[in-house]
Chains A and B, each alone.
Chain A
């Protein structure tokens, strides 16, 4: 359903600070896949998601979504099919606008917007129902400005907004990384529930190895712009954090000190 073909992306080509972010990525995501993507800093995870979402246009290669070549289509035109949640909880919502205004904008994701009054009774009812599921009491705060919410509340709201209008593809880029462990856990459970409930095809970048193992049906590991490990089925089910770190060390061929840094970083996070 989502096919990535020979994708290459280099930042600042030909300059001293040239940065090859994606090196010939090939991957086939199937409908209903929930793929977790891991890898060290600068591995190219965000760049891959950004190429899929249309924030960046790749240098070469193509992105096919449901057999349609979307490689060069601008971001706002893909929005009907692709929903995203960013790492920064402030980036997914408009702070100066109310909860119901944010929700109604998300409900219209990818659709033509008109000069009709945006918020109608019927929709308010839908928002109340959906917000109630979060169990955060937000259903009674529809007229509050989003800026008044905490980071965790905002991220939960963003997630809800992403799924309000069922997307073909859900892209999550470290969407729990900025939250405290407890809130991160809650948002992660909500994510899993939404993905199951609406059978969403999902790509989730995370630095938390336990999270990557616990959720989803596939794990991809990236390093320096390439996919170096791809686990699914039985392999995915049986993997542990320790084994994953060993495999990373083997596959990446990094120098030992580099590995230690990465591993200790991961160990801290998870």
Chain B
């Protein structure tokens, strides 16, 4: 396998790893299966692309994307906590609404091209990096920063309250935490990260597409589970690093499958099978007595 193959795996692994951190936050920390992700990923891409096309600095555009994602997560959180809609349905409702909103953000077009526009990656290139090196640097920098921030946050007083909300809601309520607020906050952060991932992927691919978020929840879950199964770490920041590595391994599997000549249209099937396999594997592991 060529160097460019491995480079591609790492670049994608890191960019999508940003989203995986967000999904880890809801899926594992908050114990909330959030489908908003599919819409907020596209939202991030749409917002940054529209901002860039309209002449905004790509950094400002990226920050706008993060904010938009946080709002999407907040809406899902409000659906769930204030209107008592189930987690799954709350996410589906926001995701569905976001499809229309994303199209509006994109000015009614199904895709926006960023070719010959300034992006975070072209900024880095202007410092003398190649496109590949700049992309890798952006992904790695974002991931490192996020792992650092999340590791700190999850050990703060509010971070502990958030984790306890996912672990034992009754207990943390009796200790005086408004768990509704905690859930909304967690969903906002998670979707902010997912939108950031969408924004960086759009700048990496040089386009935003209204359908680019489809299937992201499975990609994210697959990465989280692969990371957990392969590395078996439970503490912070170990687990955060694991799930990002899970994202890289996921890209590697996909890359190899493509290399074997499978058409790209079969990737979703492969992704789903991978999740099923990964979900089954802790059981396989314990059956083989590989774990305690």
Contacts and interface: CB of A to CB of B under 8 A. Distances in A.
Contacts of B161: 105, 113
Nearest to A88: B170
B156 A108 contact: no
A101 interface: yes
A93 B160 CA distance: 12
A117 interface: yes
Interface stretch (A15-23, A29-37, A73-81): A73-81
A39 B176 CA distance: 29
B126 interface: no
A53 B152 CA distance: 33
B155 A118 contact: yes
B288 interface: no
A97 B176 contact: no
Contact of A110 (B168, B176, B179): B176
A114 B170 contact: no
B87 interface: no
Contacts of B178: 74, 76
B153 A115 contact: yes
A106 B168 CA distance: 13
A96 interface: yes
Nearest to B179: A76
A116 B168 contact: no
Contacts of B160: 97, 101, 104-105, 113, 118
Nearest to A85: B174
11 contacts: A53-B174, A76-B177, A79-B177, A80-B176, A94-B172, A96-B163, A97-B160, A105-B160, A105-B172, A118-B159, A145-B234
A92 B171 CA distance: 5
Given A91-B168, A91-B170, A116 B156 contact: yes
B94 to A, nearest CB: 25
Range class of the B interface residue count: 20 to 34
Nearest to B174: A84
Nearest to B154: A118
B171 A94 contact: yes
Interface string B140-173: 0000000000001101111111011001101111
A75 B174 contact: yes
Contact of A91 (B153, B163, B171, B179): B171
B168 A79 contact: no
B177 A113 contact: yes
Contacts of A91: 168, 170-171
A197 B226 CA distance: 50
Contacts of B172: 94, 105
Closest 4 CB pairs of A and B: A79-B176, A113-B157, A94-B167, A110-B176
Contacts of A9: none
B1 interface: no
Contact of A75 (B159, B164, B173): B173
B175 interface: yes
Given A76-B178, A79-B174, A94 B159 contact: no
B155 A117 contact: yes
B178 to A, nearest CB: 5
